[in-house]
Amino acid sequence: MDTLNPNWFLRARLKTRQLLLLIALDEQRNIHRAAEALHMTQPAASKQIKDLEEMLGVKLFERLPRGMEPTIYGETMIRHARMALTSLSLAHDDVVALKQGLVGQVEVGVIMTPAMSLLPRAIARIKQHAPLLRIGVHVEPSNVLLDMLERGTLDFMIGRIVERDGATGLIYEELTEEPACAVVRNGHPLLENKTLQVKDLAGQPWILPPQGSILRHRCDMMFRRAGLEPPANTVDTTALLLITSLLQQTDSLHVMPLEVAQYYASLNVFSILPIELPFKMDAFGIIRQHDHLLSPGANLLLQAVRKAAKEIYGHEHRFRQPESRAARSPCRGNPFAAFPEAGGAFGGVPSGDLWRSRAPCVQCGSPACAADGAMRPLRRIAAGSRCELLHP
């Protein structure tokens, strides 16, 4: 099959006017009205489209009695014409910004933990040098931010790659892991116990993230691995104002990222229990689109985030392409990984009663804890047990 020279547009002497004409035709669906909108004659507009079709070797528009309709090739060219013109417009804005001192708009997304110290430090540093730079900050869960990033709403985000095995075109720079801790109101009776164990927490009332969240799953598995049932007396919410009020009015416990808890503890809002919880959240990092060219302002903020991360977390960030959760799982390569489902005992040998599951591993939390990330057949196991082959 014939392929176009990647620089075909140079040979074709592709003009900005042709890109504008493609967009006008898409909007007007009539060559006469499109030509009028661009202050061209109809013959000149027809010739430009014909020249473009001859260079590409495809028909871009179907000529109909009452107008013109783009073909699949035409729709592709129209989409890229819009992207090219948008990029040129942004280039003009960047040049103007550099000439007048750094101004413009940067949109960044962030999850809760880096929103407490990392991003504020970076923004404070940027504002010293570029006070006119407008910075929009969106604090949301990672899955919401990833959707915004892929739609082009964000320049970049600080969060984690979650449950998006098919995600492509993303660059991920890991910053740090996220330890968790338990918090209570000031003066809570458990604060006096300096030898707290997990069993001391099981019968307490809890305020927890909803079922299905990563943090809730890790918390539940903490109790199961200790041979205990997860707390039954719970309030499920992620609303921080409600959580803070409930903690101050009750003896409830709440689990949250350590860095967030330390911030609120420094303000004397609540206290951190003297126990090191035996689990962590997944690492978070900087995520951006591979093919998205950052504006000068966005690039400046990105560099400030990297510098602040090195100061706070004490190491260089680690750059890598995002992996699927299965690829990151410590259980990878084990076809007999355990899943928290009720049933018979784990036998370790495939047989006729094997099954397939998408439930997460009770030890590492991976929803694809199996060889090569595949959903391998797995024998039913008792609730709360784990794969002794890999997680002794």
Contacts of 231 by beta carbon, 8 Å cutoff, 6+ apart: 201, 202, 203, 204, 205, 206, 208, 223
Q: Which amino acid is at 228?
A: L
List the domain range (segments joined by +) for residue 339: 326-392
User: Smallest Cα–Cα separation from 223: which of 244, 206, 242, 243?
Assistant: 206
Q: How do residues 49-103 score in pLDDT, each as one tens digit?
A: 888 888 888 888 888 888 888 888 888 888 888 888 877 777 776 676 656 556 6
Read out DSSP for 217-259?
HHHHHHHHHTT-PPPSSEEE---HHHHHHHHHHS--EEEEEHH
Instruction: Give rounded-to-5 percent helix, strand, coil for the chain.
Output: 40, 20, 40
pLDDT in tens, 231-257: 999 999 988 899 999 999 999 999 988
Based on the fold, state whether residues 15 and 64 are members of the same structural domain.
Answer: yes
CATH of the domain at 122: 3.40.190.10
Specify whether 305 is located in the same domain as 167: yes
Chain-centre distance of CA 129, in angstroms?
Answer: 29
Same domain for 291 and 154: yes
Tokens of 48: 């430009």
267 and 341 inside one domain: no
Residue that is last in its domain, among 246, 279, 312: 279
Per-residue tokens: 311 = 């100061």
H or E element: which one contains 158?
strand 156-159
CB atoms near residue 353 (< 10 Å): 11
If one counts the domains in the chain, the total is: 4
The CA distance from 302 to 108, in Å, is: 9
Residue 148 has pLDDT above 50, yes or no: yes
| Mean pLDDT, the chain, whole residue set | 76
Which of 97, 120, 154 is the C-terminal boundary of a domain?
Answer: 97
Give the integer Cα–Cα distance in Å for 289 and 170.
5
d(CA 22, CA 28): 10
Residues 217 and 198 in one domain: yes
| Least confidently predicted of 161-170, 178-187, 340-349 | 340-349
Domain boundary among 97, 119, 150: 97
pLDDT at 323 over 80: no
Residue 157 has pLDDT above 50, yes or no: yes
Residues 166 and 294 in one domain: yes
DSSP class of 159: E
- Taking only the tens place, the pLDDT of each residue in 19-42 is 888 888 888 888 888 888 888 888
pTM for this predicted structure: 0.54
